[in-house]
Amino acid sequence: MKVLVAVKRVVDANVKVRVKADKTGVELANVKMAMNPFCEIAVEEAVRLKEKGIVTEIVVVTVGPTVAQEQLRTALALGADRAILVEAEDVTPLGVAKVLKAIADIEQPQLVILGKQAIDDDNNQTGQMFAALAGYPQGTFASLVKVEGGKATVTREIDGGHQTVELTLPAVVTTDLRLNEPRYASLPNIMKAKKKPLDIKKPADLGLNLASTLKTLKVEPPAERKAGIKVKTVEELVDKLKNEAKVI
Amino acid sequence: MSILVYAEHDNASIKGATLNTVTAAKAIGGEIHVLVAGQGAQAAADAAARIDGVSKVLLADDAAYGHQLAENVSLLVAELGKGYSHILAPATTNGKNFLPRVAALLDVNQISEITKVVSPDTFERPIYAGNAIATVQSSDSIKVLTVRPTGFDAAAATGGSAAVEGVAISKNAGTSGFVGEALAKSDRPELAGAKIVVSGGRGMQNGDNFKILYALADKLGAAVGASRAAVDAGFVPNDMQVGQTGKVVAPALYVAVGISGAIQHLAGMKDSKVIVAINKDAEAPIFSVADYGIVGDLFDVVPALTALV
């Protein structure tokens, strides 16, 4: 069975981002970039399914700039078999979903795994949108995935606890933090990844026009919260909460 | 303009996040219809009809919607939603699950987790874990939005008297099924809507130590949350996680106990009205957002606090 994994190049999770002075976005020049952490979990899940003998081929795909090849190479080093870059920038989740639909029509995967959200735009949309366009069922925010007999059984993290759903393949899974702990790529695997196939396409090659209906008018820093005071004793704290803040 | 608000409910009652979403709809302006999709959900629909500002309630009562399966619910909302200028759902795990499917079916973009309505086509939303606020304008014919509940006050749950209209649209994609769920049972308030939240971090050392937080919470009538570090360490279950990828809360009082204050965590609680930090490390970043801080051993401070409140 073939699995398609979608990944995204984002600002490294450890970087504290700054809003640009002209308010057009956040500062990305000379900032460390990396694979979105939820996408790493998606790659890891696919690799584990391959190690269990359930999956035979892992195709990793990204929609992004030319340099997003770095993240595809990372995925190949972690165990993906081949990669596809669709070169386009500033694509909305709906646009990415349309690209994935076009790729899925060609590749015919049984399972498509994505991160639940990217830590740059925090949209949490792409997997669900792709699933709708493809007519696939979805197991979002997954903390456990079992694939057996043409079905995927997915345990999902929901408000208040967990829910388990059964999906008829082909299906979409989006990963939550606790699905697995991604491995690190070994040096020999990083070397091997350089020789794995990486195909580059343009949206037009897939018959797509990804013009967006959304316009970002401005990006601003959030309202600053001022540091308050340190109190010495618990008595003082209780007094402040009762008489100054009046919250208890 | 007319606005369709998708109700979060448990078939018997309306969940609080629905009320905040109605307020967002009022800020957009126009007639507000609330859709209650569920199974045996008449009571929830009746409750929705009493929400202030709602002019009509649509009740889609069908076995296919009983467990809110996204595959089925999205087909219903996409069909009903065609007649509206805006479709809103609370940014709960349920709203996040099905609404992007609706947007894709309607071939429009979605704007996620809005925190402010600037105008009927322009909205503010946090990006980069709340480290930046984007103002986004949509030229789509139907605006599809999830609403971050902490960004809007709750609409009054009573005072309205909307008519409840049945919707006989049964959509079953037939591709997914509900197997089961495990929901935490607690007498404490729900994390997302609680007035006071007490949260523990890695400094709690283990899950058993959380009992001192439960004791404090019970005295305060508070919900109990946790940092991602505490959840990842297995101290407490994931549904207690407050942060960028967990729950976003904005209570009147947030007490952070043994939490260092990673960006990821701050994104989930920094809009709280009053923040108290208890940490033995005076340099912990949590103090930079706290109104009141106590530098000390949480195992001394928390029981002392419990005794005094």
CB contact under 8 A, A218 and B131: no
B19-42, pLDDT tens digit by residue? 999 999 999 999 999 999 999 999
CB atoms inside a 10 Å sphere around CB A231: 18
Query: Which pLDDT value is given to residue A246?
Result: 93
- The number of C-beta contacts closer than 8 angstroms across A and B is 257
Whether A12 has a pLDDT exceeding 90, the answer reads yes
Copy the structure tokens of residue B212: 């001192």
**pLDDT-derived band at B1, boundaries 50, 70, 90:** confident
A52-104, pLDDT tens digit by residue? 999 999 999 999 999 999 999 999 999 999 999 999 999 999 999 999 999 99
**B301 and B278 Cβ atoms separated by less than 8 Å:** yes
Interface predicted TM-score (ipTM): 0.95
CB contact under 8 A, A138 and B74: no
Identify the CA nearest to B196 among candidates B272, B138, B121, B128.
B272
A199-223, pLDDT tens digit by residue? 999 999 999 999 999 999 999 999 8
**pLDDT-derived band at B246, boundaries 50, 70, 90:** confident
- C-alpha span between A101 and B112 (Å, rounded): 21
- For an interface test with A, give the residue of B291, B301, B302 to mutate (most A CBs within 10 A): B291
B85-118, pLDDT tens digit by residue? 999 999 999 999 999 999 999 999 999 999 999 9
Residue type, A199: D
CB contact under 8 A, B308 and A117: no
Terminal Cα-to-Cα distance of chain A (whole angstroms): 58
Whether B9 has a pLDDT exceeding 90, the answer reads yes
**pLDDT-derived band at B192, boundaries 50, 70, 90:** confident
Provide, as residue numbers in chain B, all residues whose Cβ is less than 8 Å from the Cβ of A131.
70-71, 101
Mean of all residue pLDDT scores within chain B: 96
Query: Which pLDDT value is given to residue A227?
Result: 84
A232-241, pLDDT tens digit by residue? 999 999 999 9
B48-87, pLDDT tens digit by residue? 999 999 999 999 999 999 999 999 999 999 999 999 999 9
Closest-CA distance of chain B to residue A196, Å: 33
* More confident site: A8 or B186: A8
Q: CB within 8 A of A130, min separation 6: which ones?
A: A6, A96, A97, A100, A101, A104, A112, A114, A136, A172, B104
- C-alpha span between B240 and B230 (Å, rounded): 10
Query: Which pLDDT value is given to residue B263?
Result: 87
Query: Which pLDDT value is given to residue A73?
Result: 98
- C-alpha span between B45 and B168 (Å, rounded): 15
CB contact under 8 A, B136 and A217: yes
Q: Quote the percentage of chain B above a pLDDT of 70.
A: 100
Query: Which pLDDT value is given to residue A149?
Result: 94
A117-144, pLDDT tens digit by residue? 999 999 999 999 999 999 999 999 999 9
Query: Which pLDDT value is given to residue B165?
Result: 98
Structural domains in chain A plus CATH codes: 2-243 (3.40.50.620)
Closest-CA distance of chain A to residue B56, Å: 27
A13-61, pLDDT tens digit by residue? 989 899 999 999 999 999 999 999 999 999 999 999 999 999 999 999 9
pTM equals 0.94
CB contact under 8 A, A222 and B131: yes
